[in-house]
Amino acid sequence: MPLGRGLRRGRTSASRQRAGTYPSGMLSHDEIRGLPLPDLSLKLLASLAREQANFNNLIQGLRNAGGYGAAQPPDMDSLLARLSDAWAWLEAHALIGPSAQNPQGGMWQRLTALGREVIEDPNAVAKVWAADRLAGELHPALSPARSNFALGDFETAAFAAMKAVEVEVRRVAGLPNELLGVALMRKAFSPKDGALRDPGAEGGEQQATADLFAGAIGAYKNPASHRTVSFDDPVEAAEVIQLADLLLRIVQRAQARRSG
């Protein structure tokens, strides 16, 4: 239900008042109390779907949901704080943003393109969870992968991430360009004489590290080199980039050992 109509002041029925709800379509007090913050935020987003939103209207709507003079729940301050947290969550995840129609109002917000997409297609919320996974610092070599991910080109992002691993392994190990993919990983991390193996690790761990790199490149870089690979799930693409970040940090440690 639109925010403006959903938060319009006025009297409500006794049954609605006892239930502790806004007018039809809004969040109940129990939902505000009990839902995890992401779930609460997404339910709030659904209530903002059709028009501009104003945080002050939202707060006043909760205060006056039972009608003027009605007793408020004893935890009203906590309920208001939860709504404030949910609003901040929507802003932080770029699901709502400043209104272009009423920029001088300051408090008016609109649904962003991503927010509208999440409202219209529940599966699109996966983009929000995927972006969360890549919110922190990544290895500098993954900048192209992150850029492609932000543009929605998940296949190219995953390929670019593993390509960055291949390039960095070859550079740090000092191996020739002719050595590619899985063979490059096996050579660089060979427990016998690999330039990037950890001499302080026992043999089984050295072999496992070689298997980790070879498996990652074989599963996520090589297929995309030879055929079209469809990444329909942005979360999976984000996790491939995270895996590449881990592998690149292992290579960094190997480089530090060689330099020392």
More confident residue, 6 or 50: 50
How does pLDDT run across 144-198, given as a tens digit for each residue?
Answer: 999 999 998 999 999 999 999 999 999 999 999 999 999 999 999 999 999 999 9
Burial of 244 (0-12, 13-18, 19+ CB in 10 A): buried
Domains 3-120 and 133-259 agree in fold: no
pLDDT band at 204 (very low <50, low <70, confident <90, very high): very high
CATH number at 133-259: 1.20.120
Angle between helix axes 154-173 and 181-188 (nearest 10 degrees) is 40
pLDDT tens-digit map of 1-24: 333 333 232 333 333 333 333 433
Count CB atoms within 10 A of the CB of residue 177: 8
Contact 163, 242 (CB under 8 A): no
Query: What is the architecture, at CATH level 2, of domain 3-120?
Result: Orthogonal Bundle (1.10)
Q: Name, in order, each residue with C-beta under 8 angstroms of 151's C-beta and a sequence gap of 6 or more.
A: none
What are the tens digits of pLDDT across the range 66-87? 666 677 889 999 999 999 999 9
C-alpha closest to that of 136 among 144, 146, 127, 126: 146
Query: What residue ranges do the domains of the chain occupy?
Result: 3-120, 133-259
Segment (H or E) for 111 = strand 108-111
Contact 185, 210 (CB under 8 A): yes
